[in-house]
Amino acid sequence: MSNIFNPDKTNLQQAAEIIKNGGLVAFPTETVYGLGANATIPLAVAAIFKAKDRPTFNPLISHIAELDTLEDFVETDSRAIALAKHFWPGPFTMVLRRNNKSAAMDLACAGLPTASVRMPNHPIALELIRLSGVPIVAPSANRSQTISPTTAQHVAESLGARVDMILDGGQCSVGVESTILDITGKQPVLLRAGGIALEDIEAFLQGKVLISHGEPDRPSSPGQMLKHYAPKHRFCINVTEPENGVFYIGFGKSKNANLNLSPSANLQEAAANLFAFMRIADQQAGEKGIAMAPIPETGLGLAINDRIRRASYR
Ligand code: TXA
Ligand code: MG
């Protein structure tokens, strides 16, 4: 049975309910099909990484439908607003600094102090975002390291039942992902070439854009990952017998845990809790610091271990 649906009014309403409740909806944009989830529900964001078999938590693009909603999670300035008004809706993504209202989006932003945002130029995508009433994070709707999907059938072939609903909007008109521009610094930096030409951006800004030579699928400075959270306290990983007085974050059957990432050893639940629990641990730990139970190196465990290894590094 296929989970591809016509994007009529009833089905769009149902898709929005799925997003609101933390499920996954694949939807058309002008660039590629996105695998959408509610950006403010960590468990829903974790479900994206699981469905895609992504080994790390890449930061995801938040899709919005109204310019006003930018202020709900990022800091803006006149340059950001001017770029948005000129290039949105369209295949253009801006990296901006997050504001203090965006804590629920920690996982969506992979722990970075920045968020990437775009307003897609597709009526179905825009209507879905409006009806959902939240930013929708959406990487391309395919398994990791496979080709991005530009039809609903591509999505079904790659993800099948891993997605709750696929909205069919026909073929994507642009077919390559959005251009990503980091405007957190004085000079804008191109992080990924895409649907909007660099020349058009430079012409609009009347100035040069720097080109990032980092890996395109990694944030501009990977060392920055989780630095935001690099805990203030000593942080040990792979601990099964915590010392007395240590703040212990358990997993599965761990005994004496102050918090347990997932008592049932569910890695998706653990991923969803990770950033929030690390914040709490860092607030509540004493001088003995924080310890975390071993996390299996399978499925989302790879991404969790990657992040906690960075966080434990001194
Ligand atoms: O066209 C598109 O942008 C599509 C459609 C579905 O909208 N989405 C898409 O998402 O291509 P994704 O997850 O495949 O690519 C997002 C890219 C990644 O390379 C990620 O590292 C980068 O954006 N990115 C996201 N947030 C970032 C941030 N805060 N700083 C630096 N890079 C960021
Ligand atoms: Mg992709």
* CATH value at residue 103: 3.90.870.10
Angle between helices 78-87 and 198-205 (to 10 degrees): 130
Structural domain contains residue 217:
no
Structural domain contains residue 219:
no
178 and 263 together in one domain: no
204 and 271 together in one domain: no
Inter-CA distances, 86 with 117, 122, 127, 136, 179, Å: 15, 16, 21, 22, 14
Structural domain contains residue 123:
yes
Q: What is the pLDDT of residue 229?
A: 54
47 and 86 together in one domain: yes
pLDDT at position 181 over 90? yes
Assign 303 a pLDDT band (cuts: 50, 70, 90): confident
Q: Is residue 148 in contact with ligand 1, taking CB distance under 6 Å?
A: no
29 and 122 together in one domain: yes
Q: What is the pLDDT of residue 207?
A: 94
84 and 135 together in one domain: yes
176 and 279 together in one domain: no
> DSSP of 166-196, one letter per residue?
EE---S-SS-SPPEEEE-SSSS-EEEE--SS
Q: How far is the C-alpha of 310 from the C-alpha of 193, rounded, in Å?
A: 28
Q: What is the pLDDT of residue 145?
A: 77
CA of 177 to the centre of ligand 2 (A): 8
CA of 116 to the centre of ligand 1 (A): 7
166 and 75 together in one domain: yes
Structural domain contains residue 222:
no
Q: What is the pLDDT of residue 223?
A: 38
Query: pLDDT tens-digit profile of 79-117?
Result: 999 999 999 999 999 999 999 999 999 999 998 999 999
Over residues 282-290, the mean pLDDT reads: 95
Assign 307 a pLDDT band (cuts: 50, 70, 90): confident
pLDDT at position 199 over 70? yes
124 and 25 together in one domain: yes
pTM for the structure as a whole: 0.86
Q: Is residue 178 in contact with ligand 1, taking CB distance under 6 Å?
A: yes
CA of 264 to the centre of ligand 1 (A): 32
Q: What is the pLDDT of residue 1?
A: 59
Q: What is the pLDDT of residue 225?
A: 44
Work out which ligand 1 atom sits closest to the CA atom of 138: 6
193 and 250 together in one domain: no
CA of 14 to the centre of ligand 1 (A): 26
Structural domain contains residue 88:
yes
Pairwise pLDDT comparison (297 vs 220), residue with the higher score: 297
Using left for φ > 0, alpha for ψ between -120 and 50, and beta otherwise, residue 110 falls in left
Look up the domain containing 195 and give its range: 4-211
Over residues 6-26, the mean pLDDT reads: 98
45 and 192 together in one domain: yes
93 and 169 together in one domain: yes
Amino acid (1-letter code) at residue 7:
P
pLDDT at position 275 over 80? no
Q: What is the pLDDT of residue 300?
A: 81
Q: What is the pLDDT of residue 54?
A: 84
Q: How far is the C-alpha of 57 from the C-alpha of 65, rounded, in Å?
A: 25
Over residues 58-72, the mean pLDDT reads: 96
What's the CATH code of the domain at 247?
A: 3.40.50.11030
Query: pLDDT tens-digit profile of 226-238?
Result: 444 578 899 999 9
Number of domains in the chain: 2
pLDDT at position 28 over 60? yes
